[in-house]
């Protein structure tokens, strides 16, 4: 049995992510208990909403330091949507410090003629890390579903696993380093490509299950 801890901090529809993970053959556990996260084979940080309230919810549950530790421990870890943004050091959307597992800042899209903010709807991925486990068996330039007004600007652009273009701006769509991965789009709302991504994450978790991880 492959267990995935889905972090509960009252920000977003956790059940959609869980359904996708169940479809991929995993057993998701919705939890805010650090011990359960440590016992799980992998961890998912989902979420929708604004940066500051999300960080405040995490702090109220004393989860910021444990999430940083888990995300940087080598345990397979996936951030989704605001979950990606929270893993960075901070955001132009607010003043709260982020978790800081990824060096960099969350920036706001620049206004320009002919584009809407938020960037909402289907758009094509431009893969920049072909060997990232999330992209196995994915079609080139897959269409996935986005809803966001802010995007990640990593200090080191090499951690970009995929980008997306909105208007004249090409921005981060996914980041990955080792077993720590995160996507700005919603795989659980992205039809077949999104389910493939979640299946790939579960397969990656299974491949690492027998490897010891220092927590």
Query: 81 catalytic, yes or no?
Result: yes
Kindly state whether residue 214 falls inside one of the protein's structural domains: no
Instruction: Residue 20: count other Cβ atoms within 10 Å of its Cβ.
Output: 25
Determine the pLDDT at residue 140. Answer: 83
One of 57, 81, 148, 204 is an active-site residue; which one? 81
Count of the separate structural domains present in the chain? 1
Nearest CA-CA partner of 127 in 141, 148, 145, 137? 141
77: number of Cβ within 10 Å: 27
Judge whether 133 lies within some domain: yes
Asked if residue 215 is part of any domain, the answer here is no
Cα–Cα dist 185/145, whole Å: 6
**Is residue 213 domain-resident?**
no
Distance CA 102, CA 95 (A): 17
Give the residue numbers spanning the domain of 130. Answer: 3-208
For residue 27, what is the enclosing H or E element?
Answer: strand 27-31
State pLDDT tens for residues 57-78: 999 999 999 999 999 999 999 9
What angle (nearest 5°) sits at the alpha carbon of residue 201, between those of residues 215 and 18?
90
19 within some domain: yes
Task: Note whether residue 143 is domain-resident.
Answer: yes
Per-residue model confidence (pLDDT) at position 200 = 97
Q: Residue 212's pLDDT is what?
A: 56
Query: What burial class does residue 26 get, using C-beta atoms within 10 Å of its C-beta: 0-12 exposed, 13-18 middle, 19+ buried?
Result: buried
> CATH code at 167?
3.40.50.880
Residue numbers in the chain where pLDDT is lower than 70:
210-215
The predicted pLDDT at position 13 comes to 75
Q: Is residue 197 part of a domain?
A: yes
Tens digits of per-residue pLDDT, 79-116?
999 999 999 999 999 999 999 999 999 999 999 998 89
Does 148 qualify as catalytic in the annotation?
Answer: no
pLDDT at 28: 97
Marked catalytic residue, from 57, 166, 186, 204: 186
Among the listed residues 18, 57, 132, 188, the single catalytic one is 188
Per-residue pLDDT at 211: 62
């Amino acid at each position: 049995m492959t267990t995935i801890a889905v972090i509960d901090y009252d920000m977003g529809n956790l059940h959609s992510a869980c359904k996708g993970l169940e479809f991929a053959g995993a057993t998701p556990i919705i939890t805010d208990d650090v011990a359960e996260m440590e016992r799980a084979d992998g961890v998912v940080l989902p979420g929708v909403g604004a940066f500051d309230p999300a960080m405040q919810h995490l702090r109220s549950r004393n989860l910021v330091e444990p999430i940083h530790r888990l995300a940087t421990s080598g345990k397979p870890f996936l951030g989704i949507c605001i979950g990606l943004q929270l893993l960075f050091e901070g955001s132009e959307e607010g003043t709260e410090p982020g978790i800081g597992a990824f060096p960099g800042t969350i920036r706001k899209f620049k206004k320009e003629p002919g584009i809407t903010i938020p960037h909402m709807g289907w758009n094509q991925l431009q893969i920049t890390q072909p060997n990232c486990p999330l992209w196995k068996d994915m079609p080139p330039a897959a269409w996935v579903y986005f809803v966001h007004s802010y995007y990640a600007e990593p200090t080191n652009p090499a951690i970009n696993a995929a980008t997306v273009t909105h208007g004249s701006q090409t921005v981060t769509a996914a980041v990955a380093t080792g077993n720590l991965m995160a996507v700005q789009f919603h795989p659980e709302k992205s039809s077949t490509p999104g389910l493939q991504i979640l299946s790939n994450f579960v397969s990656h978790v299974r491949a690492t299950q027998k490897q010891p991880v220092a927590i």
